Amino acid sequence: MSSSRPTLFNPLLPLALSTVLILGGCASLPTETHPEERAATEAQWQAHSSMMRRLTDWSLSGRAAISTDNGGGNVTLRWTQVADAYDMFFSAPLGQGAIRIMGDDRQVLIIDEQGREARSNDVDSLIHELTGWRVPVTALPAWIRGLPLTDKASFRINNQGLLASTTHGDWTVNYDRYTEQAGFWLPTRIRISAQDISIRLVVDQWDVQPLPVTRTK
């Protein structure tokens, strides 16, 4: 790993990375009058979550408002995901800086607007080195699609069978709005919080392709 100190990077870096850091045992169903309604909601969730797990290639653009004990700010985001490989570009308004983050489940590379780099095969350790935070970076691809991190994660679904909230350690993720595109219900407003940080993420545009139809012989 290259030995880059946090002070070498633009002040946008902690804000950008905090946006990236967005994100035991069973689902909490909404309280409904009839058991039939609970069963129907659970069936909707099972179908939806199965479909979202099959969505591995996509891109999005959006914005984030970030608030911490030490201040806050706003960034715009462009994100492309192909299987486990991601390419994220963050920029602050009025030329305050830009950061590009590229990686997969084996390594990550961070580049600022002046071309300075930091890389590692341990994403969590690199994020901690640059920001001082230890958080589950690898959770974001699941959270951005409206999925719990694992099948054993604690989560709650809404009356439409979509993820309403999920938790991981000290992190809480809440979903305020979804949109339908190409047969998918995709999150467009997400609130992420943990101790001294709060992030409001708005996805302005998703780009996804319909899943191929499986034909039986």
CATH number at residue 90: 2.50.20.10
**Residue 205: what pLDDT?**
96
Residue 73, domain member (yes or no): yes
pLDDT at 141 over 50: yes
Residue 38, domain member (yes or no): no
d(CA 64, CA 73): 8
**Residue 6: what pLDDT?**
41
163, 134, 150: which is closest to 30 by C-alpha? 163
Residue 37, domain member (yes or no): no
Residue 160, domain member (yes or no): no
- Measured from the Cβ of residue 95, the count of other Cβ atoms closer than 10 Å reads 8
Residue 32, domain member (yes or no): no
Q: DSSP letter at 119?
A: E
Q: Which residue has the higher pLDDT, 166 or 169?
A: 166
Across 130-196, where does the E strand assignment appear? 154-157, 163-168, 171-181, 184-194
pTM of the model: 0.80
Residue 100, domain member (yes or no): yes
Residue 50, domain member (yes or no): no
Please give the C-alpha separations between residue 49 and each of 3, 68, 184, in angstroms, as whole numbers: 40, 32, 10
Strand-pair partners of 92: 97
Residue 206, amino acid: W
Residue 129, domain member (yes or no): yes
Number of domains in the chain: 1
**Residue 217: what pLDDT?**
45
H helical segments located in the chain: 12-20, 35-54, 123-131, 140-144
pLDDT at 213 over 60: no
Instruction: Find out whether 99 and 114 touch, Cβ atoms under 8 Å.
Output: no
**Residue 16: what pLDDT?**
59
Which of the listed ranges 70-84, 149-163, 177-191 does the model predict with the highest average pLDDT? 177-191
**Residue 162: what pLDDT?**
96
Q: Which domain holds residue 109?
A: 6-23+58-148+170-205
